[in-house]
């Protein structure tokens, strides 16, 4: 398996502040689709499917460093994937995402390196 291989997913400037782009599971080489979010100048990547029920976090509401599920308003920290508001009880899986030379590189399955 090549789970730890970085994947070049798109140009960094394709994503405006507060936008999200979902990479299909096949393209990401991962068990779930992965959504890359941009919040300010930071990029984050989470499993797209809400751990609560089948809903796409990529279609959620991004605000204050959190993504809110479009269906039942569970909220997750973009940085850690931790649930910050019920009804979800399981955290969202996070992935490493880096911007190199204007391209967004996603490493499915690898936890993000905390730059802070």
Partner 1 sequence: MSGVSSESGPVPNHVAVIGAGLAAVSLCAALRAGGFTGRLTMVGDEPCHPYDRPPLSKQFLAGESDAAQISLQPAEWYLAQGIDVRLGVPVAAFDAGTGRVELANGSALVADVLVLATGGRARRLTVPGGQSATVLRTRADAEALRDRLSPGVRVLIAGAGLIGAEVAATATRHGCHVTLVDPSPLPMEHAIGPHAARALHAQHAAHGVTVVSGGVRAIEPGRVALSTGASVSADTDTDADAVVDGDRDVDVDVVVAGIGIVPNVELAEDAGLDVDNGVLVDSEMRTTSAPNVYAIGDIARVSGTPHRSEHWDNARRTAESAARAILGQPPEPRRAPWFWTDRYGTHLEMAGLYDPDAEAVARGDIEGGAGSVFYVRDRLCVGAVSLDRPLDIRAAQRLIDRRIPLDTARLADEGVDLHRLLVARA
Footprint of partner 1 (CB under 8 A): 18, 59-61, 63, 68, 70-71, 73, 86-87, 89
Q: Which is nearer to partner 1, 9 or 62 (CB)?
A: 62
Q: How far is the CB of 66 from partner 1 (least distance, A)?
A: 12
Q: Which is nearer to partner 1, 8 or 64 (CB)?
A: 64
For residue 22, the cross-strand partners are 35
Q: How far is the CB of 8 from partner 1 (least distance, A)?
A: 28
> What does the alpha-carbon distance between residue 71 and residue 56 come to, in Å, rounded to a whole number?
9
> What does the alpha-carbon distance between residue 31 and residue 34 come to, in Å, rounded to a whole number?
9
Tokens of 81: 């994937």
Q: Which is nearer to partner 1, 3 or 90 (CB)?
A: 90
Cis geometry, peptide bond prior to residue 87 (ω within 30 degrees of 0): yes
Q: Which is nearer to partner 1, 23 or 62 (CB)?
A: 62
Q: Nearest 5°: phi and psi at 28? A: -80, -20
Q: How far is the CB of 57 from partner 1 (least distance, A)?
A: 12
Sign of CA dihedral 96, 100, 105, 107: negative
């Amino acid at each position: 398996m090549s789970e730890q291989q970085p994947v070049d997913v798109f140009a960094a400037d394709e994503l405006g502040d507060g936008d999200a782009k979902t990479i299909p599971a096949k393209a990401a080489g991962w068990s779930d689709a992965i959504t890359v979010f941009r919040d300010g100048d930071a990029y984050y990547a989470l499993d797209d499917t809400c751990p609560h029920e089948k809903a796409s976090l990529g279609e959620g509401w991004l605000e204050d460093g959190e993504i809110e599920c479009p269906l039942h308003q569970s909220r997750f920290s973009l940085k850690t994937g931790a649930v910050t508001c019920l009804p979800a009880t399981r955290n969202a899986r996070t992935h490493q995402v880096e911007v190199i030379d204007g391209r967004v590189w996603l490493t499915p399955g690898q936890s993000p390196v905390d730059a802070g």
